[in-house]
Amino acid sequence: TRTIKLAVVAGDGIGPEVVAEGLKVLDVVLEGSDVSVERTPFDLGADRWHRTGETLTDADLEAIREHDAILLGAIGDPSVPSGVLERGLLLKLRFALDHYVNLRPSRLYPGVATPLAEPGDVDFVVVREGTEGPYVGNGGAIRVGTPHEVANEVSVNTAFGVERVVRDAFARAQARPRKKLTLVHKHNVLVHAGHLWRRTVEAVGAEYPEVTVDYLHVDAATIFMVKDPARFDVIVTDNLFGDIITDLAAAITGGIGLAASGNINPDRTTPSMFEPVHGSAPDIAGQGKADPTATILSVALLLEHLGLTDEARRVFDAVAADITERGTAPRTTSEVGDALAARVATAARVSG
């Protein structure tokens, strides 16, 4: 038997609710298999910060490192100054654990509501760089609060960092039927960073002659995202542009209630982290209103990352079947979790 050591960071707001459903489905899909999960809950987020002033200590980080993967709910609360938990906890995890591939698949399942009139057949994946760009925290300000304040933010991009994520994106494009890769950047304005990205895509692309390479400025990419999202297959982009276009991608494929993500270290030297794209939604926390589907899909990405391909597929299939049939009648968080768990269990019995 194989034991998976899972660090669970439920976090703030709706985080604990959706994570509970993710774990429910994880348990069901592994039932009767020779894989067991050993969970360690980590008390991180707004409550901990209010109690102790800590966001993520070295000891927390060392303890998390001992795990095979992390399931994260959501981080952030209006009672904490903006940036404290984002930078001190969520981004600190991504950076410290070198999650350089922030993987965000977007797929429009049949029957799912979309704001687009004619969405077409949408099925792409964004490979967002996760450890560089304007997210590095290399900003600063002088004369704060005076009329002479200057606040800078620095986007740092390295050949090392860009190449490894571009390689990952090409490998993913190569493995997909359409074999298409779109670089999204803004190299006509951010010339230094942009040209590094561009040259890197060109150089790595030479090793992937079967992959068609395409480029879009980020502003133009948002246009295609609403006018012809079916054109996308694999998108590779920097940390900030990836943040922006994946929320838009989620919006056109059924909303952030369905958008899953993996913060992945493909070198497997640290645990990768799986989380819904949505935030902590404090306005609906504790009311059983949150849709746990994004978290459950994140569990599927986690299973895939751990090589449990069949289990991952069963979760994906359960979600696909459910969201196609779920209609518009509101269900509680646990009702959605129960429905997906039941589908996964049935699929298990059929194939097992």
CB of 237 to a copy of itself, least distance (A): 12
Does residue 252 bind a copy of itself (CB under 8 A)?
yes
Tell me if 60 is assigned to a ligand binding site.
no
* Interface stretch with ligand IPM, choices 4-12, 29-37, 83-91, 284-292 (CB under 6 A): 83-91
State the DSSP code for 326.
-
Q: Which of 57, 159, 310, 335 binds a copy of itself (CB under 8 A)?
A: 159
Shortest gap between Cβ of 119 and a copy of itself (angstroms)? Answer: 9
* Long-range contact pairs involving 216-223 (C-beta distance under 8 Å, separation at least 24): 216/182, 216/183, 216/184, 217/184, 217/185, 217/186, 217/187, 217/188, 218/184, 218/185, 218/186, 218/244, 218/245, 219/186, 221/182, 221/184, 221/245, 222/248
Q: State residue 215 phi and psi, 5-degree precision.
A: -130, 140
Contacts with 275 (C-beta within 8 Å, 6 or more apart), sequence order: 71, 72, 73, 74, 261, 263, 295, 298
Q: Is 247 a catalytic residue?
A: yes
By a kind-dependent CB cut-off of 5 to 8 A, residue 118 interacts, out of a copy of itself, ligand IPM, none, with: a copy of itself
CB of 61 to a copy of itself, least distance (A): 20
**Residue found under tokens 């410290």:** 96
Let me know if 186 is a catalytic residue: yes
Per-residue contact track with a copy of itself, 221 to 240, x per CB under 8 A? Answer: -xx-xxx------------x
Member of 90, 285, 308, 318 binding ligand IPM (CB under 6 A): 90
Residue 135 among the catalytic residues: yes
**Does 199 belong to an annotated binding site?**
no
Q: Is 279 annotated as a binding residue?
A: yes
* Minimum gap (Å) between residue 143 Cβ and ligand IPM: 27
* Tally of CB atoms within 10 A around 27: 14
Query: Is 88 in a helix, a strand, or coil?
Result: helix
Over the window 223 to 262, marking each residue x when it contacts ligand IPM by CB under 6 A and - when it does not, the resulting string is --------------------x-------------------
CB 101 within 8 A of CB 235: no
Residue 291's CB is within 10 A of a number of other CB atoms, namely 27
Instruction: Give contact residues for ligand IPM (rule: CB under 6 A).
Output: 76, 86, 90-91, 188-189, 219, 243, 277, 279
Give binding residues as ranges. Answer: 94, 104, 128, 219, 243, 247, 279-291
